[in-house]
Structure formats: C-alpha cells, structure tokens
Amino acid sequence: MTILYENLFVLLSCLCYDKVMNTEMRRKEILNMLRNAQQPLSATSIANEFHVSRQIVVGDVALLRASGHQIDSTPRGYLLNSDVGSSAPFPYVGIVACNHSSEQVAQELYTIVDFGGCAIDVTIEHPIYGQLSGALDVRSRYDTDVFVEKVNQQSSQPLSVLTSGIHLHRIGCRDEATFLRIKKALREQGFLLE
C-alpha cells in the first residue's frame, strides 16, 4: 500500500511540475506573440491559440505586467511595448477638453479621425481617484465602430460618464494645422468645452 501512495505522489508531482512548466511556457509564448504582432491581439484570440479561457489569458497578462513587461491594453487588444499613450508616432499632439453625452461618442471620434487625427486616449478628473486615463488608439471610423460596439456589447459606459460627460483627449496628428482643424470641427459640433 505504501508503494502505491509513493507512486501516486510521484505521478502527481510530475503532473504539477508539467502544469507549472506549461503555464510558464504559455506566458513566454504570449510575449512572443505580442512581440511579433503587427496589430493588437485580443485576449480571446490568444486564448483560442492556447485552448484556454479568456480569463486565463487576462491573468497571464496581469502576471506578465507584474513581472515588469510593458503590455498596453487598447479597445482592440494587447500591445507589447507600444507607443499607445506616448506621442512618439505623431509629429504633433494636442489636447482638447470635451463635453457630450454617451450617445455622441461615435460622432466625436468620427470627427477626430475624419479630419486626420488619432484619439490617443481619454482622461477624466475623478473626485476620489484623481486623473484616470484609458488608451483608445482610435485612428479610423472602423476603430471607432469597434470601440462603440465593444461598449454596447459589454453594457459598459465611457469614462466620461463619471464626470457628466467632461473629459480630455490627446489627439495625435501630422501637424498643428491638422489639430486646429479638428478642434474647430469639434467646436462647431458643440463638443468642445471652452
């Protein structure tokens, strides 16, 4: 009977060791996927690749971040060492203060991209937590539609709901003239807070 327990212990030890190695290997592979990605990768697509749940991938990414890897999250998925949140890929970055309802988010973002801008992020001033920001990286009408669809599918609300519609956007574009055209269009639509 003792030999049976010893064999069972050895077998379980091997299974646990194998599981730990597979988890570590999966995280390394997630990093490799992100390094090689030309566009953001969703948690669902990564989960499908490894035959695990989306929540497992979300946990893996959290642990990778905790171990020092810079992984950004955008509405379209994860990016490793991306420039989301920085002004590096844009020769000019301007900031606008806006105020509008949740139903007008798509129109605001369409205006920004139609005039040649990228909505880099959104920032609000929360009364308790201070400044809260979310990466957007919205560069086209398609990106806008994906963002709005995600908000609607998940019964979520934009950050600006917490501040009665008031928020900031960093807008990346090729030059100041482009930024001023975007600002003028937002003003004409009544979105600009002045």
| pLDDT band at residue 88 under the 50/70/90 scheme | low
Same domain membership, residue 115 and residue 176? yes
Same domain membership, residue 180 and residue 102? yes
Q: CB count, 10 Å around CB of 76?
A: 19
Q: Which residues of 167-182 are buried (b: 16+ CB within 10 A; e: fewer)?
A: bbbbbbbeeeebbebb
Same domain membership, residue 105 and residue 169? yes
Q: What's the pTM value of the predicted model, to 2 decimals? A: 0.63
Can you give the CATH number for the domain in which 181 is found?
3.30.1340.20
Specify if 73 maps to a domain. Answer: yes
Count of structural domains, the chain: 2
Specify if 193 maps to a domain. Answer: no
pLDDT digits (tens, 9 = 90+) for 62-75: 888 777 788 887 77
**Segments forming the whole domain that contains residue 179:** 92-188
Residue 173 host element (H or E): strand 166-173
Can you give the CATH number for the domain in which 31 is found?
1.10.10.10
Among 53, 80, 107, residue at a domain's last position: 80
